[in-house]
Amino acid sequence: MDQPLAFPLDIPVRGRLQALHAQLRAAILDGRLRAGQTLPSTRALATSLGVSRNTVVAAYDLLLSEGYVVSRQGAGYVVAHVGSGQASTPRVTGAAEMRLQPRWRDARMSTPMNALPPTRYDLRVGLPDISRFPFEAWRKLSARALRALSRDMSAYDAAEGRLALREAIAGHVSFTRAVSCSAADIMVTGGAQQAFDLLARILVTPGQTIVAVEDPGYPPLRAAFEAAGARVVPVPIDEEGLIVERIPPEARVVYVTPSHQFPAGMAMTPARRAALLDFARRQGAVIVEDDYDGEFRYGERPLDALQTLDREGTVFYVGTFSKSLFPSLRLGYVVAPAWAMAALGSVRQLADRHSDLLAQDTLALFIAEGHLARHVRKMRRIYAERRDALLEGLARHAVEALRPLASDAGLHIAAELVWPVDASQLVRDAVAKDVRIEALSEYAVGQTTPNGLVFGLGSVPATRMDEVARLLADLLEAYRPR
């Protein structure tokens, strides 16, 4: 028989999963839930708290992935031993919190993407298919790079990155995206996120600078600029991309994903691109162009990058290799106007001086010998097949409930919910069917919250997409308008 918990749990109306997980975790850490104690069954706890069973399942799964509980056959979830080697969060008093900058007093470590329990169908955004990556070629190039590097490892390297890699990147983006640049215009970074952090440091005057961002948009970018002291203003999008006339006139930085809007998927039209560049010229603003997966284009010839069209030195073009290669390769880059390179180099030296030299040298060889171009061509074909299969499956099984949004590029597609169903609830329902998807609303901050779903293409083969669509249609059937 299930034993109730000996202490109350306070579960709010919103954020129930996060609240339940945090309170159970705290109870384990402070000893109210002892090692070896069996937790109530998911059904019993859900009933006692008045929440869905999926919420309790998800909270238990998070505790399992973090090592706070173990799953034992016949016994359910059992509290694990929290030893000295396990990460813990002690109770923090108000006085202790005052030692932190106000912004970080309520900070919480995010859960890594690979920490969640595996599901049969994982359609989360940002997960490329690494099973097709030529790791053997990478290993050989890495060994060659290490032999060369070992002959001189006595000094720090240039903040802007290895010359060979910057030359390789310049050639790559010039050929694939028509971005006009040379090695002197490129700063190698620790992924796109470090690029955003460096740009925020050199472009933001704390308490004064207004940054316009797409809504819905990319949360880590918003966080980087807010942490630098900017006032971030969400700007709505439509089927043509960012609505330029809605940008506040006083904005001095505008962040966009024109090749494949994140997360809705449309490409910014030529007229909107011209209008945005004109806005930057008139207002003395700069544009941060994030081309995170524009190499994967499935339709006609891609539109020119904003950086290609820029004649005033207003565009910072940010790229990454986490989608085209693999996420753990923390290398990205910024193609910057000449007037900003010295500032970027200076703040980079304050951060970590430079990226890993072995990874840089290996990537330079990988690009120079044609491996990157071949891999992108191969994966473009594979992702296109998955995209087509998913769209066909949705059209076959869920055409009444879901309307896919136009998208001809990238590693994900989005769809608007036609039926009156909360996308966040549908995401939770899907986990019970061994399917992980995401809600568009997770990426929105403005007053208008989109109600739809986002499907990543990196982890599910084309042959399984119809099954995904069918399972989703079965879930949606419960919400069919009567």
Dihedral, CA of residue 477, residue 479, residue 480 and residue 481, to nearest 10: 170
Q: Are residues 323 and 419 in the same domain?
A: no
Q: Which of 333, 316, 382, 328 is nearest to 192 (CA)?
A: 333
Tokens of 401: 């409930």
CATH of the domain at 95: 1.10.10.10
pLDDT at 115: 67
Residue ranges in the chain whose pLDDT is less than 50: 1, 84-94
Tokens of 204: 């933001």
Q: Is residue 4 part of a domain?
A: no
Amino acid code (one letter) for 37: Q
Q: Is residue 165 part of a domain?
A: yes
Q: Is residue 411 part of a domain?
A: yes
**How many other CB atoms are found less than 10 A from the CB of residue 298?**
15
Token match 């081309």: residue? 291
Q: Are residues 367 and 381 in the same domain?
A: no
Q: Are residues 105 and 148 in the same domain?
A: no
Q: Are residues 354 and 324 in the same domain?
A: yes
pLDDT at 197: 97
CA 331 to CA 257: how far, in whole Å?
19
Q: Is residue 59 part of a domain?
A: yes
CATH of the domain at 429: 3.90.1150.10
Amino acid code (one letter) for 357: L
End-to-end CA distance of the chain: 40
Rg (CA), the chain: 24
Q: Is residue 8 part of a domain?
A: no
pLDDT at 89: 46
pLDDT at 88: 45
Residue 265 has phi, psi (to 5 degrees) of 105, -15
CA 278 to CA 47: how far, in whole Å?
58
Q: Which of 425, 415, 423, 417 is nearest to 390 (CA)?
A: 415
pLDDT at 1: 45
Q: Are residues 410 and 456 in the same domain?
A: yes
Q: Are residues 167 and 125 in the same domain?
A: no
Q: Are residues 220 and 347 in the same domain?
A: yes
pTM (predicted TM-score): 0.79
Q: Are residues 221 and 300 in the same domain?
A: yes
Q: Are residues 266 and 195 in the same domain?
A: yes
Q: Are residues 328 and 410 in the same domain?
A: no
282 in Cβ contact with 244 (< 8 Å):
no
Q: Are residues 380 and 278 in the same domain?
A: no
Q: Is residue 3 part of a domain?
A: no
Last residue of a domain, one of 59, 78, 113: 113
CA 437 to CA 266: how far, in whole Å?
19
Q: How many helices (H) and strands (E) does the chain have?
A: 15, 16
Query: What residue numbers bound the domain in which 409 lies?
Result: 121-130+374-477
pLDDT at 87: 43
H/E run at residue 351: helix 341-351
Q: Is residue 10 part of a domain?
A: no
Burial of 314 (0-12, 13-18, 19+ CB in 10 A): buried
Q: Are residues 192 and 163 in the same domain?
A: yes
Last residue of a domain, one of 371, 390, 418: 371
How many domains are there within the chain? 3
Q: Is residue 1 part of a domain?
A: no
